[in-house]
Amino acid sequence: EPEVTQTPSHQVTQMGQEVILRCVPISNHLYFYWYRQILGQKVEFLVSFYNNEISEKSEIFDDQFSVERPDGSNFTLKIRSTKLEDSAMYFCASRWLWTDNSPLHFGNGTRLTVT
């Protein structure tokens, strides 16, 4: 079964540094998402992306965050200047359509640790 692939599985960075989290969505999917999960807490929406532009974003997704689909396969999340509170598990997700019968498929996540 096709999978959403995320790299790296774990990223450690110093506060103030830039990080790029990478995702390869399922190949025929059209909608892409980033979510994050702070340890032991709920899964929080960051941003959705369709047709090479942001469809929706949350309050968390401020100017420090950006997303890009640099080619036909990768979908990246960049955090320009990381803060301690950015430490979390970041999940990429994709779906074929936005309808109910097109479920959201999550990757296994990238654990970001900001020191």
Partner 1 sequence: QQQVKQSPQSLIVQKGGISIINCAYENTAFDYFPWYQQFPGKGPALLIAIRPDVSEKKEGRFTISFNKSAKQFSLHIMDSQPGDSATYFCAASKGGTGNQFYFGTGTSLTVIP
Instruction: Rule CB under 8 A: say whether 93 interacts with partner 1.
Output: yes
Binder of partner 1 out of 18, 43, 68, 78 (CB under 8 A): 43
Determine the Cα–Cα distance for residues 11 and 91; give it in Å rounded to an integer: 13
- Which region among 14-22, 54-62, 68-76, 78-86 touches partner 1 (by CB under 8 A)? 54-62
Instruction: Rule CB under 8 A: say whether 23 interacts with partner 1.
Output: no
| Residue count, binding to partner 1 (CB under 8 A) | 25
- Which region among 14-22, 41-49, 69-77, 79-87 touches partner 1 (by CB under 8 A)? 41-49
Instruction: Rule CB under 8 A: say whether 48 interacts with partner 1.
Output: yes
DSSP 3-state assignment of 48? Answer: strand
Token code pair at residue 48: 């959705």
Convert 63-95 to b/e letters by CB count within 10 Å (16 or more is b). Answer: eebebebeeeeebebebeebeeebbbbbbbbbb
